[in-house]
Structure 1
Amino acid sequence: PMSEVLVTMSRKGFGVAGVTDASGRLAGIVTDGDLRRHMEGLLTHTAGEVMTRDPRTVPPGALAEKAVAEMRDRKITCLFVVDPSGEGRALGILNIHDCLRAGVA
């Protein structure tokens, strides 16, 4: 339900929430932009209806510098870090602001 997505997004403060399928695979993400595009009747939708499918992701061993470059090029602020074993489980989120604060450019 979208009410759960909104609570998660507010609690975590990343402006994005991951949506997983029944097997725990990252199926999509709900971003602030997705919320704005579906504002009318938002709470009547499900995360699956609102989400961006096949989001950009990075493996755990990705260089932060390359990830920041991709975020800048695509004008996005987060990339999910996904298990490279083929299971597609989200392991975390890489946020551009955290990278920039850490001196990664």
Structure 2
Amino acid sequence: MGRKELEKLLAETQKALEAAQARDRREARKAAERAAAEYGFSLNELDDENQNASKKSRGPKKPKNPSAPKYADPDDPSRTWTGKGRQPNWFRAAVEKGINPTSLEI
């Protein structure tokens, strides 16, 4: 097969796939409508309930409040640490020197 023939075959195949997908979508929708009707609902009613439930669960996010510093470097008081997360190098070095961590508290 030549290039043009292959391109034509590819275009026809893509059209056939799109048509099959549309047909499957229609069949799935009809099956879903029948299943909802068995319980006395329409598909739109069920979809509205899902949208309302997802809106309620998303609620507004609360802003994060940063933790206040708990420790300060005695050599440079502008360097602080909240006591959470990884220990800063200055804190670790001070403890290794034998300084009590409670003496570094603000």
Q: What TM bracket, shorter-length normalisation? A: under 0.3
Greater RCO (Cα-Cα under 8 Å, separation 6 or more): 1
Question: Higher helix fraction: Structure 1 or Structure 2?
Answer: 2
Q: Structure 2 length normalisation: TM-score?
A: 0.19
